[in-house]
Amino acid sequence: MSRLLVKGRQKLSGEVSVQGAKNSALPILAATVLAKGESVLYHCPALSDVDASCGILRYLGCKARREGEALVIDSAGVDRADIPDALMRKTRSSIVFLGAVLARTGRAKLCFPGGCEIGPRPIDMHLRALRQLGAEIRERHGCLDCRAPYGLKGCRVALSFPSVGATEDIMIAAVTASGTTTITNAAREPEITDLADYLNRCGARIYGAGEGVIVIDGVPSLHGAAHTIIPDRIVAATLMSCAAVTGSALTLRGVVSSHLGAVLPVFEESGCHIRVSDGDLRLTAPQRLRSMRVVRTMPYPGFPTDAQAPLLAAACFAEGTSVFVENIFENRYRHTAELIRMGASIKTEGKVAVVEGVPRLYGASVEATDLRGAAALVIAALGAEGQSEISGVRYLERGYERLEQTLSDLGAEIRKV
């Protein structure tokens, strides 16, 4: 198992281009199952979660190959409607293949085990909506056997919570349904809009993505299309946290600052100076961060739950107390125990984490247990006194493209062993 060795308190400097968004690439890869022909996805990040999705596509009969920064998918040859357990278990987001396979083939058989590192991952909203669209779904011990022998029929779907995955699954299932589907209380994340942009390029008729109400007029079929994936706003927030804890100035290239509307004010609150100029973002950190006050995670456009762990790591170094409230997932503070081993002062109680800033953290041997928690440990190690050893690097590789290489190029003393 590879580990990261980090010697802390090295200043970072220079500029870095932000990778394509993992949480945009994954649903778009599932959606290519619907497009009968070749799609070219530019700015697609090289991640283990992307590889896992390509494994599912190949199993279903698609061709998937990387051409430099682009991923080329040809879904003309889809000839299967089942996804083996081993492939489903490799990434949490594979549930979004359900709507795609069902819409393309009229059948879908897959197992979706609940629970992962950050909490139970129920799919009740996905299943309820697909049944409303006319799917017959039999569930047994997390295994689903879905049929839509007469195709799917558009209808009105009201989500009880603006679930990102459910919104994506329904959108994908509805694009070739007969009639119109309206999703109310839809998720508004930029990745939803990016998925709709790709599908519309393939001939879909989706209106209102990014708003709370999305209307989809069904079309008979979709063709392939070329699409450039949006930058990853969570990777941007992670890199900004790396600069924040090392008192550095960094320039991020290819950032959509409007995707970070709820994140930038938190960095500014903590004393970071941020300048945005057409697609670039320059962050200059103070010698020592101030408290972030209160950070509540919310559905977009609120503060993103995926940025909670990286910013909480930075808050450990701040002068003053910061309070985090995690409203989206049940178990997203697991990494705080490892931060405490490095000298952080954190008290968690249910949704709330109270972080009392300390002048120093100290390098330690720590273990990551989930993707964003792993990023938090890297950030803490960069700002800590001395050497840290971080295990569980496989979690990092799910969402960050060569993070240690990027940080090393910016001046950090970090290497993978």
Which residues are designated catalytic? 116
Told to check if 241 binds ligand EPZ by CB under 6 A, we report: no
Residues 56, 59, 63, CA angle at the centre, nearest 5°?
90
Separation CA 276–CA 291 (nearest Å): 23
Give the nearer residue to ligand EPZ in terms of CB position, either 9 or 332. 332
CA distance 324 to 168: 28
Q: How many CB atoms lie within 10 A of CB 202?
A: 21
- CA dist list (Å): 99 to 20, 104, 120, 146: 24, 8, 21, 10
Q: Does 308 bind ligand EPZ (CB under 6 A)?
A: no
Q: What residues from 157 to 216 belong to the interface with ligand EPZ (CB under 6 A)?
A: 161, 163-166
The two tokens of residue 40 are 């070219």
Does 377 engage in binding with ligand EPZ (CB under 6 A)?
no
According to DSSP, the residues that pair with 147 across neighbouring strands are: 107, 136
Least distance to ligand EPZ, CB of residue 297, Å:
9
Among 329, 333, 395, 400, interactor with ligand EPZ by CB under 6 A: 329
Q: Which is nearer to ligand EPZ, 234 or 346 (CB)?
A: 234
Q: Which is nearer to ligand EPZ, 14 or 114 (CB)?
A: 114
**Residue written as tokens 């997932």?**
329
Residue 126 as a binder of ligand EPZ (CB under 6 A): the answer is yes
Q: How far is the CB of 284 from ligand EPZ (least distance, A)?
A: 27
> Would you say 311 and 265 are in contact if contact means Cβ atoms under 8 Å apart?
no
Binding of residue 45 to ligand EPZ (CB under 6 A)? no
What the block records as the tokens of 19 is 């990778």
Point out the residue whose Cβ comes nearest to ligand EPZ: 165
Contact (CB, 8 A) for 377 and 338: yes
d(CA 135, CA 198): 24
Is 39 a binding residue for ligand EPZ by CB under 6 A? The answer is no
Question: In the complex, what is the shortest distance from the CB of residue 126 to ligand EPZ, in angstroms, rounded to a whole number?
Answer: 5
Q: How far is the CB of 191 from ligand EPZ (least distance, A)?
A: 6
Considering the rule CB under 6 A, would residue 121 count as an interface residue with ligand EPZ?
A: yes
What Å distances lie between residue 361 and 101, 104, 256, 377, 381, CA to CA?
Answer: 48, 52, 32, 11, 8
Looking at the Cβ atoms of 10 and 53, the one nearer to ligand EPZ is 53
CB of 8 or CB of 190, closer to ligand EPZ: 190
Interaction between residue 124 and ligand EPZ (CB under 6 A): yes
Site residues, ligand EPZ (CB under 6 A):
22-23, 26, 93, 121-126, 161, 163-166, 305-306, 328-329, 371-372, 399
